[in-house]
């Protein structure tokens, strides 16, 4: 076997199970110890300072400088006791990662002595010299400054010896350069509009939050195998590799026993996560071999987003300790399931009531139906925007294959709720309901809770499914920052609730009774949006046809899908809700395009190199052996028997030549196509050229490489094969 491959396999096989460092089996003993949460704030802050942070969290009141100084001093006292020497503003730039720049607390006093200090101004605002973050043209070079500003709603935490302060990141002119800024705005407008609607049912509602529980899927691979595959290392996915004879056909991995080494890795990162206040709860094997999942208890959406970003970086760090690499790419291996990040989403009022959970009185059921139907309407209205919000080059390999939700947005609500909606809608033609009918309708709705108890028919093929007390947005990619879909969804629902309130109030002004007015508007909404409801198999061909008939869009093409950011509908949505200005939207669109083509550019380079430096030379070596063999035969067998004796060798020699010539030829053409694409003037033209002229070569070249993998002597093949990489232990 090739030396590199053999060494990699041996290292992986001989890997010792490394220990995990959880100090106790009781998470309650260490949960949140590295977080400056409200309990620590009570301990380290004056009442006054504590109150000002609480007010900021609850109602968005700004924290004044004097208070900021007090908070900073308390925060630093706590952080120093926990061993922190540095601090950083921690934010989510649009490159999809998290950013941090550590500064020491240490400074010189006026008299020149060394002191440790953390002033309010350092907490509240910084000016990171971060001119190389993507801005989509917002930050011109002449004014390259960006500001990060403290988000008090997400508590500060310590990693290693650094105090991390969650912040937003905006340009000098105030435009958002991150995910958090628009997310906070979306959650704020959602709070206002949902609270107003809640008041129809409970006058004393003061606040509504969005809740998010993400399920993070990922693959693990031994680090030696990872580094022996330049494609995995440089692009996050395998660009070549023939399917393993056995992978997930036997369906024996899902929920199977977790291998010891993997289990120790999980315990380790969960320990670190729990210390950071990330409430991780569920772990299991996923469908594909080598694939796993981690899910926390849901939290307020902004905090949940921060926690997911933190968890992803923690996983990467802890994996190294266990000599693993985490693959967060949506599709690391062709032919086996890819990874997603289901976003479970709901709304909760300040009494802790889940607004998408049907209650047991007519009043709470009407409230449930109000939020349920308004969400359906919002998703129907902004389906294209939601589709655009989950676009990435990685996710495109996953969507639409028979394993992940397709590129058509639809909503699954379950058969019982479908019939509730149908019943409700039936009365649509009637101007006014008789008292009997109204009671009948109410009684129908009272039945919802008992029905939901056995609502177990979970449709895994739907991109957006109602699962009893929440919606689950399943099309989100595993590596994504869930803020992107959360911005789109929460803004769309917020706007929808504003419109709903206006329509209902309008009817009430015309002397229609409140409940009746709500029913009428809801019935109209069902009629307007029922085309997006689909209970069947989202993977089927019939659904594609049916969706087209219904006028739903099916946008598999990434560049097409992204255009939804620039549609008049989206612009109007974001400007009316003040979540994103047109300039900010355009910037986001351009950044997405840029990342999309750059990923293809890197993949094309890597595949070209691999084909020329690994695959073709190996194929030649094997071909030489065959040629030698045939030559030898010629010497020992009789001339007339030669062709018959050397038949296999000669055919294989020809077959190899054929694949090699095709590969070489296509790699050269791909290089030309890339050069051509790089010379395009606008970003749209570049993306178009990359996706239409460069990308198709990736699959075509791979096809011939994978054929060669089947022919060439296993001993010579230099890259670890799927069967070696997939079965992580
Ligand atoms: P499944 O794989 O069956 O969908 P999991 O237990 O893996 O279920 O994940 C369910 C996720 O949904 C968890 O993160 C859970 O906390 C979250 N969740 C439950 N209720 C809500 C809610 N009201 N709002 C948001 N997320 C929720
Ligand atoms: Mg789920």
Predicted TM-score of the model (pTM): 0.95
Find where tokens 């997603």 sit: 340
Calculate how far, in angstroms, residue 90's C-alpha sits from the geometric centre of ligand 1: 27
Longest C-alpha distance within the chain, in Å?
106
Pocket test for ligand 1, best of 215, 254, 341 (most atoms within 8 A of CB): 215
Name the closest ligand to CA 474.
2
The pLDDT of residue 430: 52
Calculate how far, in angstroms, residue 557's C-alpha sits from the geometric centre of ligand 2: 26
Please compute the mean of the pLDDT values over residues 676-696 and round it to a whole number: 94
pLDDT tens digits, residue range 562-617?
999 999 999 999 999 999 999 999 999 999 999 999 999 999 999 999 999 999 99
The pLDDT of residue 64: 87
Name the closest ligand to CA 357.
1
Write out residues with Cβ below 6 Å of ligand 1: 211-213, 215, 282, 295-298, 344-346, 354, 469-470
The pLDDT of residue 441: 67
Pocket test for ligand 1, best of 187, 214, 218, 298 (most atoms within 8 A of CB): 298
Q: Given the CA of residue 356, which atom of ligand 1 is nearest to it? A: 23
The domains found in the chain, sorted by start residue, are 31-177 (3.10.20.70), 188-580 (3.30.590.10), 595-725 (1.20.120.1560)
Name the closest ligand to CA 345.
1
pLDDT over 60 (residue 429): no
CB 221 within 8 A of CB 725: yes
**Residue 356 class from Cβ within 10 Å (0-12 exposed, 13-18 middle, 19+ buried)?**
buried
Calculate how far, in angstroms, residue 215's C-alpha sits from the geometric centre of ligand 2: 7
Q: Given the CA of residue 212, which atom of ligand 1 is nearest to it? A: 25
pLDDT over 90 (residue 88): yes
Find where tokens 């093409």 sit: 557
pLDDT tens digits, residue range 256-269?
788 899 999 999 99
Calculate how far, in angstroms, residue 469's C-alpha sits from the geometric centre of ligand 2: 12
Calculate how far, in angstroms, residue 255's C-alpha sits from the geometric centre of ligand 2: 14
Buried b (16+ CB within 10 A) or exposed e, 326-353: bbbbbbbbbebbbbbbbbbbbbbbbeeb
The pLDDT of residue 156: 96
pLDDT tens digits, residue range 289-303?
899 999 999 999 999
CB 584 within 8 A of CB 175: yes
Calculate how far, in angstroms, residue 404's C-alpha sits from the geometric centre of ligand 2: 12
pLDDT tens digits, residue range 339-355?
999 999 999 999 999 99
Q: Given the CA of residue 284, which atom of ligand 1 is nearest to it? A: 7
Please compute the mean of the pLDDT values over residues 156-175 and round it to a whole number: 92
């Amino acid at each position: 076997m090739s030396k590199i491959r053999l060494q990699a396999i041996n290292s992986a096989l001989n890997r010792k199970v490394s220990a995990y460092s959880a100090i106790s089996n009781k998470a309650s003993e260490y949960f949140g110890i590295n977080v400056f949460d409200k309990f620590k704030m009570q301990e380290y802050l004056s009442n006054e300072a504590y109150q000002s942070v609480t007010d900021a969290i609850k109602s968005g009141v700004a924290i004044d400088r004097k208070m900021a100084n007090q908070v900073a001093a308390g925060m630093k006292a706590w952080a120093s006791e926990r061993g922190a020497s540095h601090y950083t503003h921690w934010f989510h730039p649009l490159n999809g990662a998290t950013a941090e720049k550590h500064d020491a607390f240490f400074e010189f006093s006026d008299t020149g002595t060394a002191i440790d200090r953390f002033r309010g101004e350092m907490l509240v605002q910084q000016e990171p010299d971060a001119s190389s973050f993507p801005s989509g043209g917002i930050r011109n070079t002449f004014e390259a400054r960006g500001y990060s500003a403290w988000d008090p709603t997400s508590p500060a935490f310590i990693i290693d010896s650094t105090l991390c302060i969650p912040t937003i990141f905006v340009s000098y002119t105030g435009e958002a350069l991150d995910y958090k800024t628009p997310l906070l705005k979306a959650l704020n407008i959602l709070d206002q509009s949902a609270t107003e609607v809640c008041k129809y049912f409970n006058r004393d509602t003061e606040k509504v939050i969005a809740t998010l529980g993400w399920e993070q899927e990922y693959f693990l691979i031994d680090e030696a195998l990872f580094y022996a595959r330049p494609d995995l290392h440089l692009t996050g996915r395998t660009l070549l590799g023939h399917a393993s004879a056995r992978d997930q056909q036997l369906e024996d991995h899902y929920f199977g026993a977790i291998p010891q080494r993997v289990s120790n890795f999980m315990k380790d990162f969960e320990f670190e996560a729990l210390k950071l206040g990330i409430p991780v709860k569920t772990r299991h094997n996923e469908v594909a071999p080598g694939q796993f999942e981690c899910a926390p208890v849901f939290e307020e959406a902004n905090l949940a987003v921060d926690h997911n970003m933190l968890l992803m970086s923690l996983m990467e760090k802890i994996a190294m300790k266990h000599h693993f690499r985490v693959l967060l790419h949506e599709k690391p291996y062709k032919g086996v399931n890819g990874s997603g990040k289901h976003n479970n989403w709901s709304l909760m009022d300040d009494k802790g009531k889940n607004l998408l959970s049907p209650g047991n009185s007519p009043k709470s059921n009407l409230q449930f139906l109000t939020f349920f139907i308004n969400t359906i309407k919002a998703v129907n209205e902004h389906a294209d925007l939601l589709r655009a919000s989950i676009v990435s080059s990685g996710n495109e390999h996953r969507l639409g294959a028979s394993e992940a939700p397709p590129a058509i947005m639809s909503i699954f609500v379950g058969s019982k709720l479908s019939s509730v909606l149908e019943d409700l809608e039936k009365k649509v033609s009637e101007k006014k309901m008789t008292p009997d009918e109204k009671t009948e309708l109410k009684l129908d709705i009272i039945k919802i809770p008992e029905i939901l108890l056995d609502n177990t028919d979970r449709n895994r093929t739907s991109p957006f499914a109602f699962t009893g007390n929440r919606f689950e947005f399943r099309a989100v990619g595993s590596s994504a920052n869930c803020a992107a879909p959360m911005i789109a969804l929460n803004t769309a629902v917020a706007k929808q609730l504003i419109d709903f309130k206006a329509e209902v109030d309008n009817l009430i002004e015309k002397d229609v009774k409140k409940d009746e007015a709500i029913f009428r508007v809801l019935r109209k909404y069902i009629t307007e949006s029922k085309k997006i409801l689909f209970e069947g198999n989202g993977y089927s061909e019939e659904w594609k046809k049916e969706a087209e008939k219904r006028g739903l869009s099916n946008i598999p093409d990434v560049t097409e899908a992204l255009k939804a950011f620039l549609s008049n509908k989206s612009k109007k949505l974001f400007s009316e809700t003040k979540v994103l200005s047109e300039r900010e939207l355009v910037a986001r669109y351009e950044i997405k395009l840029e990342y999309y083509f750059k990923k293809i550019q890197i993949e094309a380079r890597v595949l070209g190199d691999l084909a020329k430096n690994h695959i073709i030379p190996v194929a030649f070596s094997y071909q030489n052996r065959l040629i030698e063999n045939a030559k030898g035969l010629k010497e020992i067998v009789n001339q007339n028997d030669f062709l018959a004796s050397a038949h296999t060798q000669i055919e294989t020699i020809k077959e190899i030549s054929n694949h090699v010539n095709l590969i070489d030829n296509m790699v050269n053409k791909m290089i030309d196509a890339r050069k051509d694409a790089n010379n395009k003037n606008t970003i749209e033209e570049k993306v178009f050229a990359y996706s239409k002229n460069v990308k198709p070569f990736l699959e075509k070249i791979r096809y011939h490489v994978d054929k060669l993998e089947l022919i060439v002597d296993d001993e010579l093949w230099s890259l670890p094969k799927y069967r070696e990489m997939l079965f992580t232990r």
